[in-house]
Structure 1
């Protein structure tokens, strides 16, 4: 899914029989329930090469939980299709994984600790929590309520953007310090005047 699909929190329409349903992106406020069923699926997908039928068989309960969390398909209809046409449920599962690709396709964290998904990058000595990631976005102007109502893809992309912006600012500061250190008074004043014109 593209950035605008993620940023606008769009739903993806699907059809079962004559009825239209939708697949949503997972919200941060529901992430605790999500990770309980999605993380085993994410890990299992690495070993079965996106075989959604096998995934349904191997992790049936997790798959049903995943479908219940991000779709408006009544669970009794899902169970009926498991017996009548399981390939439809496999297709729905594939759609859920695509719509929530920010979670399922994100790069592996260096840490083996599953609690670190989505958190800001940290050195091995630091013990970052989810609140560190939230604070990163709060400092960028987001409220707690807006963060909890973000879908995970938007949350993840904003964290990446803030980290990128912080890195660029750090590099700009280093460059300015280097110029100031090596410049004579006239050269530094010229640099400062050029910077002031950019503001």
Structure 2
């Protein structure tokens, strides 16, 4: 999915039988509900492809979570989703679409060396990281109501962009007071290209 797709919170239509089902991106205001069913799916799919065989195995091992995720992302009742599951090929297409459109959640970015330790240290310092993330975006000009309407992918992209902007501002404040070696070190620490 490209940046404009994420930023505009678009959905995709999946042909299933004689109808078309709209699959949506998860939005921040319902992220907690989504995560409760999606986390076991994410764990199962870690480092796996979305082949038909893998997705069939996913449904066999985590049927309740898959049904809940699809209900959440499509707005369709469980009974109707169970009916759709009878046609395995179409049902697999629906699962694949839900995973693909929500790839920012299901596919982790590669971690930098030492990232696990840094994340644990930040987690110890922060009791409310979501509020901190929201406040950071608010300080960059976003409003709470618009953040809650963002897709998770757009939320991540805006947060990354805001961090880059913040880091550039920090660099431009401190770099003039440093020698070349200090500037290079600061660039590396702030991850500025």
- Coarse TM-score class (shorter-chain normalised): 0.7 to 0.9
Secondary structure at 1:20 match in 2 = strand
Distance in 1 between residues matched to 2:16 and 2:103, nearest whole Å = 22
Alpha-carbon deviation of 1:86?
1.8
Distance change (3 Å), C-alpha of 1:151 and 1:47: closer
Secondary structure at 1:164 match in 2 = helix
Q: Which runs of 4+ in 1 moved over 4 A?
A: 108-112
Distance in 2 between residues matched to 1:142 and 1:99, nearest whole Å = 24
Secondary structure at 1:123 match in 2 = helix
1:145 maps to 145
1:123 maps to 122
Q: Deviations over 1:162-194 (max 9, x none)?
A: 111111111221212227xxxxxxxxxxxxxxx
Distance change (3 Å), C-alpha of 1:100 and 1:122: farther
Distance change (3 Å), C-alpha of 1:60 and 1:140: same
Distance change (3 Å), C-alpha of 1:37 and 1:108: farther
Matched, 1:71 2:74: yes
Distance in 1 between residues matched to 2:74 and 2:39, nearest whole Å = 18
Choose 1 or 2 for highest CA Rg.
1
Structure 1 stretch displaced more, 169-178 or 89-98: 169-178
Q: CA RMSD in A?
A: 2.3
Higher RCO, Cα 8 Å, sep 6+: 2
Distance change (3 Å), C-alpha of 1:11 and 1:66: same
Alpha-carbon deviation of 1:125?
4.7
Distance in 2 between residues matched to 1:17 and 1:175, nearest whole Å = 61
| Equivalent residues in 2 for 1:1-199, closer than 5 Å | 1-46=1-46, 49-50=49-50, 51-83=54-86, 85-107=87-109, 110=115, 123=122, 125-129=124-128, 130-178=130-178
How many residues are paired up? Answer: 171
Structure 2 gaps, min length 5: 180-193
Secondary structure at 1:21 match in 2 = strand
Distance in 2 between residues matched to 1:2 and 1:128, nearest whole Å = 32
Distance change (3 Å), C-alpha of 1:133 and 1:124: closer
Distance in 2 between residues matched to 1:81 and 1:36, nearest whole Å = 23
1:197 maps to none
Scaled by the length of structure 1, what TM-score is found?
0.78
Structure 1 gaps, min length 5: 180-199
Distance in 2 between residues matched to 1:178 and 1:106, nearest whole Å = 36
Distance in 2 between residues matched to 1:47 and 1:102, nearest whole Å = 14
